[in-house]
Amino acid sequence: MSNLKSREIRLKSRPASRPAGMPHEGNFELVQNEVAPPGPGEVLVRNIWMSVDPYMRGRMTDTPSYIAPFKLGETLEAEAIGRIIKSNTPELQPGDFVGSMLGFRELFSAPPSALEKIEPAEGVPIQAYLGPLGRAGLTAYVGLIKIGEMKPGETVFVSGAAGAVGSIACQIAKIHGCTVIGSAGSERKCAWLTEVGGIDRAINYKTVQDLTKAVRQAAPDGIDVYFENVGGAHLIAALANMNVKGRLAICGMISRYNGVTSDTPVPNIIMVLRKSLKMQGFLVGESWDLLPQFRTQMVAWARAGKMRWTETVVEGLENAPGAFLGLFSGENLGKMLVKIGPDDA
Amino acid sequence: MSNLKSREIRLKSRPASRPAGMPHEGNFELVQNEVAPPGPGEVLVRNIWMSVDPYMRGRMTDTPSYIAPFKLGETLEAEAIGRIIKSNTPELQPGDFVGSMLGFRELFSAPPSALEKIEPAEGVPIQAYLGPLGRAGLTAYVGLIKIGEMKPGETVFVSGAAGAVGSIACQIAKIHGCTVIGSAGSERKCAWLTEVGGIDRAINYKTVQDLTKAVRQAAPDGIDVYFENVGGAHLIAALANMNVKGRLAICGMISRYNGVTSDTPVPNIIMVLRKSLKMQGFLVGESWDLLPQFRTQMVAWARAGKMRWTETVVEGLENAPGAFLGLFSGENLGKMLVKIGPDDA
């Protein structure tokens, strides 16, 4: 078996320093490459779907973090799902679905240790394992249950509520008997949240004059759990409206990732003291052991009609950078996915 | 028994709104009054010591909080220790020491239910029960152990380290085998911290140019637990220097209580996300059940020479407002106390 033609996307340059920190297409490079056939014990995988996520912004910068930065000139990484097209190991068979961190490329050879075999539940599209049944869904679950210590009957406020994590968080909170307020950046997203997601009240933060006041009106009895995806004015509004002994699960602060200077510093952190709040950042990786039970639960909720999801799909590996950049302008409703290969192996 | 002459301090006016929120002597009024003799089942108490604490600033303002605001024209409240001078109940005898919230007055009659009988440990001055063996000490203990989840070998940073709570927190952390950095506002306080308190490094925040850098130099391996008493630039410096999975126990933010506008909002709250930090406000009242065991422990530490404390004493009830105001200009080393009556009953 000779080398196979493939394509991949490399990090060409890092985004400029703050304040002009917005990444752009020029930071990425699409490259034609050749993939060596799988060695002994290895498999050859053709990716079908890949995920783009806000956290990748951090990996584009060369600063110490919980996850290694992307390296200049090297292939980027992302969660992906593909199928085995050739196997030199009895562990995996051609046609098997596998998840990996080896997105941003069409073909690759790897040992089974770099892969997670996925056996999709009946009636569940395979790409759901990159979203509601994967990292995004588990993040929502862990943030609410473990970090947010959510209890039935409480009021939960979710920012970025129409995104991959937020849309699942909203519904998990509803399933647990909570009143749920969500914020999103368009009327279409707000309509999805109330009509499909079933939340109590949605706030279009782009059209309200005063977000703190809007949250107060939407949650007149205050907020017990804040699920933070956005930062900035959203955090200020949440702090102002938290109830005593409320919890803030800090999952993301997408408004801050590109170092936009117009974003206001937080002037009311003293609320953490005044209201005995707990504010905690978390990484889903620390709770990865919960994934199997979470998936079982989610499939059951979905089959019972209690859990809905949607996705925003961009076609073609060459458009993966654009899909990633679109996260920061809020182009996605639900999980942002890139389709990079055919469904059949 | 006829009425007894006494003196008390009342709230005459509330501090002006922000930004000019610093309270001043004119907010207080010293009044000559008469105390009715104790009724059936009551006792007459002469206060000896009273405590002034930063949290009282919140009670001067008429805004909802965890504790009721002081009422205009009425006697202020504060923790106090006095002795029974007349008793109409077998529960308490003349000469007994009692703690109460009925400070800011010389004499008062009350039922035993409003009092806590104190049996001072041998060799421990009675006023220590208003400081290291009372609310201040327990606050330090709860903040480090329960909220801060402090573990041996960690690095602990305490702001307001020479104050009533901070000076005890520093030493509890040392006893638990931690490296301890403290900040304070004068050379005298810093000298006390290293020479008497035994901490590793003290920072005079008033003389350093860049507090964030000063903390980095004092704690080059980062901070695991931050005990927050000050807020503002201290919180910014702590966030910048926290280690991954660090904990911030938010006990107080004295720099913010008077709404001084020059105090900077917090621009780096995103560190809570980047470093998976836990930041938690707390009230010692929720852990009041730990007081007896804490006192036993503290007395043992003191007798073993592992726990030292100091106090700043202001003489005379008429000077209690000044003592309280002095907290905000950092006039106290250790607990700020007001001596308002003779030691003997």
pLDDT, tens digit, 9 for 90 and up, residues B159-211? 999 999 999 999 999 999 999 999 999 999 999 999 999 999 999 999 999 99
Say if residue A213's pLDDT is above 60: yes
- Cβ within 8 Å, pair A253-B273: yes
Q: Does A304 touch chain B (CB under 8 A)?
A: no
Q: Which of A39, A82, A137 is nearest to A344 (CA)?
A: A82
SS3 A95: coil
Contact call for residues A110 and A43 (beta carbons, < 8 A)? yes
Determine the average pLDDT of the residues in A74-98: 97
pLDDT band per the 50, 70, 90 thresholds, residue A67: confident
Provide the Cα torsion A54, A307, A190, A330; round to 10°: 20
Q: Which of A100, A120, A87, A123 is nearest to A51 (CA)?
A: A100
Q: Identify the H or E element spanning B321.
A: helix B320-326
Cα–Cα distance measured from residue A233 to residue A214, given in angstroms and rounded to the nearest whole number? 12
Q: Does B252 touch chain A (CB under 8 A)?
A: yes
Q: Which of A305, A167, A154 is nearest to A229 (CA)?
A: A167
Q: Which pLDDT value is given to residue A256?
A: 82
Residues B280, B323, single domain; the answer is no
Q: Count CB-CB contacts under 10 A for residue A344.
A: 9
Q: Which pLDDT value is given to residue B19?
A: 46
Q: Does A264 touch chain B (CB under 8 A)?
A: yes
pLDDT band per the 50, 70, 90 thresholds, residue B20: low
Torsions phi, psi for B191 (to 5 deg): -65, -40
pLDDT above 90 coverage of chain B, percent: 90
Residue type, B65: S
Contact call for residues B166 and B139 (beta carbons, < 8 A)? no
B residues 7..26 contacting A (CB < 8 A): none
Distances (CA, A) of B52 to B71, B77, B310, B312: 17, 10, 15, 11
Q: Does B301 touch chain A (CB under 8 A)?
A: no
Q: Which of A157, A54, A50, A233 is nearest to B274 (CA)?
A: A54
Q: Does B337 touch chain A (CB under 8 A)?
A: no
Residues A230, A325, single domain; the answer is no
Structural domain contains residue A300: no
Residues B154, B242, single domain; the answer is yes
Q: Which pLDDT value is given to residue A19?
A: 46
Residues A184, A43, single domain; the answer is no
Structural domain contains residue B320: yes
Q: Which pLDDT value is given to residue B142?
A: 98
Sort out which chain A residues have CB atoms less than 8 A from B244's CB and list them: 66
Q: Does B58 touch chain A (CB under 8 A)?
A: yes
Instruction: List, in order, residues 6 or more apart from A242 with CB less than 8 Å away.
Output: A222, A223, A224, A226, A248, A271, A275, A277
- Cβ within 8 Å, pair B270-A283: no
Structural domain contains residue A303: no
Determine the average pLDDT of the residues in B312-322: 98
Say if residue A344's pLDDT is above 60: yes
Structural domain contains residue B275: yes
Sign of the alpha-carbon dihedral angle for A107, A108, A109, A112: negative
Pick B280's closest partner by Cβ from A265, A267, A278.
A278
- Cβ within 8 Å, pair A266-B270: no
Q: b or e along A12-45 (b: 16 or more beta carbons within 10 Å of the residue's beta carbon)?
A: eebbeeeeebbbeeebbebeeeebeebeeebbbb
- Per-residue pLDDT tens over the stretch A100-134: 999 999 999 999 999 999 999 998 999 999 999 99
Torsions phi, psi for A79 (to 5 deg): -65, 140
Residue of A247, A270, A283 to mutate, interface with B, max B Cβ within 10 Å: A270
Structural domain contains residue A291: no
Q: Does A265 touch chain B (CB under 8 A)?
A: yes
Cα–Cα distance measured from residue A327 to residue B282, given in angstroms and rounded to the nearest whole number? 36
Q: Identify the H or E element spanning B294.
A: helix B291-303
Cis, bond preceding A111 (omega within 30 deg of 0): no
Contact call for residues B252 and A273 (beta carbons, < 8 A)? yes
Contact call for residues B197 and B188 (beta carbons, < 8 A)? no
Q: Does B267 touch chain A (CB under 8 A)?
A: yes
- Per-residue pLDDT tens over the stretch A263-306: 578 999 999 999 999 999 999 999 999 999 999 999 999 999 99
pLDDT band per the 50, 70, 90 thresholds, residue A257: confident
Structural domain contains residue B300: no
Q: Which pLDDT value is given to residue B261?
A: 47
Last residue of a domain, one of A251, A269, A285: A285
Q: Name the average pLDDT for chain B.
A: 94
Q: Within chain A, what is the greatest distance between any pair of CA atoms?
A: 68
Residues B121, B23, single domain; the answer is yes
Structural domain contains residue A63: yes
SS3 A191: helix
A63/chain B closest Cα distance in angstroms: 11
Strands A43-51 and A242-250: unpaired
Q: Does B66 touch chain A (CB under 8 A)?
A: yes
Sort out which chain A residues have CB atoms less than 8 A from B264's CB and list them: 265
Residues A143, A272, single domain; the answer is yes
**A137 vs A62, residue with greater confidence:** A137
Q: Which pLDDT value is given to residue B17?
A: 67
Sort out which chain A residues have CB atoms less than 8 A from B58's CB and list them: 274
| Phi-psi label, residue A277: left if phi above 0, alpha if psi -120 to 50, beta otherwise | beta
Cα–Cα distance measured from residue A193 to residue A168, given in angstroms and rounded to the nearest whole number? 10
Residues B280, B170, single domain; the answer is yes
Residue of B274, B275, B283, B286 to mutate, interface with A, max A Cβ within 10 Å: B274
Pick B273's closest partner by Cβ from A252, A274, A278.
A252
Domain count for chain B, please give it. Answer: 2
Residues B239, B109, single domain; the answer is no
DSSP codes joined into one string, A19-55: TS----GGGEEEEEEEEPPP-TT-EEEEEEEEE--TT
Q: Does A131 touch chain B (CB under 8 A)?
A: no
Pick B275's closest partner by Cβ from A228, A253, A281.
A281
**B182 vs B2, residue with greater confidence:** B182
Structural domain contains residue A54: yes
Q: Which pLDDT value is given to residue A232?
A: 93
A57/chain B closest Cα distance in angstroms: 12
Residues A268, A197, single domain; the answer is yes
Cα–Cα distance measured from residue B102 to residue B43, given in angstroms and rounded to the nearest whole number? 13
Q: Does A65 touch chain B (CB under 8 A)?
A: yes
Q: Identify the H or E element spanning A326.
A: helix A320-326
Q: Count CB-CB contacts under 10 A for residue B268.
A: 17
pLDDT above 70 coverage of chain B, percent: 97
Cα–Cα distance measured from residue B137 to residue B72, given in angstroms and rounded to the nearest whole number? 31
Q: Which of A128, A158, A182 is nearest to A313 (CA)?
A: A128
Pick B266's closest partner by Cβ from A253, A266, A286.
A266
What CATH number does the domain containing B65 carry?
3.90.180.10
Contact call for residues B128 and B138 (beta carbons, < 8 A)? no
Residue located via tokens 């905000």: B328
Q: Does A64 touch chain B (CB under 8 A)?
A: no
Residues B162, B260, single domain; the answer is yes
A30/chain B closest Cα distance in angstroms: 30
Residues A150, A171, single domain; the answer is yes
Pick B276's closest partner by Cβ from A244, A266, A283.
A283
Say if residue B268's pLDDT is above 50: yes
Q: Which pLDDT value is given to residue B260?
A: 57
Pick B270's closest partner by Cβ from A256, A264, A283.
A256
Q: Which long-range contacts (CB under 8 A, 24 or more apart) does B196-201 make?
A: B196/B308, B196/B310, B197/B161, B197/B162, B197/B167, B197/B170, B197/B171, B197/B308, B198/B170, B198/B171, B198/B174, B198/B308, B199/B158, B199/B161, B199/B170, B199/B171, B199/B174
pLDDT band per the 50, 70, 90 thresholds, residue B321: very high
- Cβ within 8 Å, pair B253-A273: yes
**B233 vs B65, residue with greater confidence:** B233
Residues B112, B85, single domain; the answer is yes
Q: What is the pTM of this model?
A: 0.93
What CATH number does the domain containing B157 carry?
3.40.50.720
A residues 171..230 contacting B (CB < 8 A): 228
Give me the domain span that covers residue A217. Answer: 135-285
Could you tell me how many CB contacts below 8 A there are between chain A and chain B? 89
Determine the average pLDDT of the residues in B328-340: 96
